[in-house]
Chains A and B, each alone.
Chain A
């Protein structure tokens, strides 16, 4: 039963437009959770705002639908406080690369064990089709009054430059491919990023299903020896350069697959544990028990010992003269 993907769906009616690429992503996510046998209570899907933001409500696992752009920081808090959880971030292109770009970059620097799925349809769907940060310069989708005058961000290049240690691209309608990449991403220990290209049937009449069918290809089909994995630090520069070069390709031919994997960088959780010896056994979520009423974690002696750098022992002048450590036990008249 645990492996039945239907168990990972909530009974809610899915209110995306018919034909939306999000359906493919949702199906891939629930099937992947099922196939990996991830317990719903130990899994969290964290989203931002926009059409993709509703994804967590359709998945039977913990769902945290956050603020515009902030899915990564909420997910960070969940993961750091309870590292046993599997935490997946789902955000749109405007969410992750526009309003949330700072967080996107910061996650790379930290290499926290999160999986970030970019629902990349190049438009702001829920506000009726404005250009997103991934829409190329000069393109006019149907709801834009004029062609786009901003350049596009290359999500893969940005992820690689930021320090993500797993970087891949897939396609929302190729569920088999997306699932296989997603499984690798979830298994990867560190910050994983998947750029999922996704047609918006309502507002993006340029990057359509028809367009993608012609343009997409898999890297391994063109380069059978493609090996994106950094296994020792000295391979990093070369593999990064190859991934960045491949990531430049956009237009008539668009590559899919795993671009870059670095297994030599430590995940953030290990970095915390290295300097915080209590972290592994007592992560923040387990610092206190579940008892509604309890004693503080420290006695007064422990507080004095932990914060001894602020502790001053009193030696009054009288005590100096008489050898008594303090005047506390004496009456005011005497002191």
Chain B
């Protein structure tokens, strides 16, 4: 294993320059150049046709919905949209690429020259976008018989072409200097923001764990004031956390080499999820000559300015702007808002408020009890079987005094297992607060009788001791009493 510097030593001596290339699978109904379905997880080779299998004679036809989605992404990233653009062929042999060339874009991308603004540690950073272009995905190869699923030692290689031809948007940043020690966080913030922007457009589910969003991290180091160094390109970075870790590792690894006077070679590296390290792949010296040339099977695209303006007008509020607006509306501190964003709860809270809950209650439920349930279940918050409307209903019942916190949590149990709406669960499970004063008074009398010493203390003015009696009453009523009311009854009965 190569030597590593500590991160602190590394960034004290060198300045990192970042670059990020992100691939996003569009969730168009059909593939980029044919009518095959793009549904994830189908039986191998069931979503294929002569075009995406590259049978002799088959020809591509570009998917308009994919072009539209790419233009939307470009506009949302503040890019200019080409008036004249075309596809190109990138030629190289690989068994999961049916044509042995990838139809992509080369010198004339659909979108160019944009930017994404992010904030890290209260400081703003502008990540400039070089290009956004449209291309097609490859199939997937499965190596059978080898120890690790790798080609080495495999007895058979199986190829699934279901993914071949799914539209892929590649978003390439310009080099990002000036992030200093915050390079890992800026990289993560950029990828997060990009994900949120694309998600807000509704053109991809941008799930890194499913591979519908994939990231390559470019990084170089230079001494302050010196020219930029040679970069490496780390592939296989498949979570937001990994983006951060990959940058951190490359900073540590490259700085150690540079300290020893060793030149960084321009190469592709692979991120290892297990160790958080990068390992060498193909070096650019032995890289393929892709022999790009304009794709003669596809017509040139000339997106009309009317169309582009129509799409621009249809863009949703940018996520960053929306977050700032909601934070103000919900009166949240920066940290709280950050928690909401991290929990992916913005939409959920917004919908809960729309369904009638106060913002503080909506935030409390989603970040508190429901986040805890999601963690326990190992699920995402949005995957819980409870709707924002149900959360609002639950809070309404609390506000009306029909549920206390404990009962409300029991109601949630029922909702999550599909017993119905909060009202239905409360009714079925008999989870209403006991508001029958006679019954409560009887329970209080019993508690006083059973705890004479405590009762004396309270009579003596030690009101805090009421907790013991409240607990006993709650136990007797199986928690279905409102603690506030019980306390009042106790104090009234034991008042001087």
Pair from one complex = no
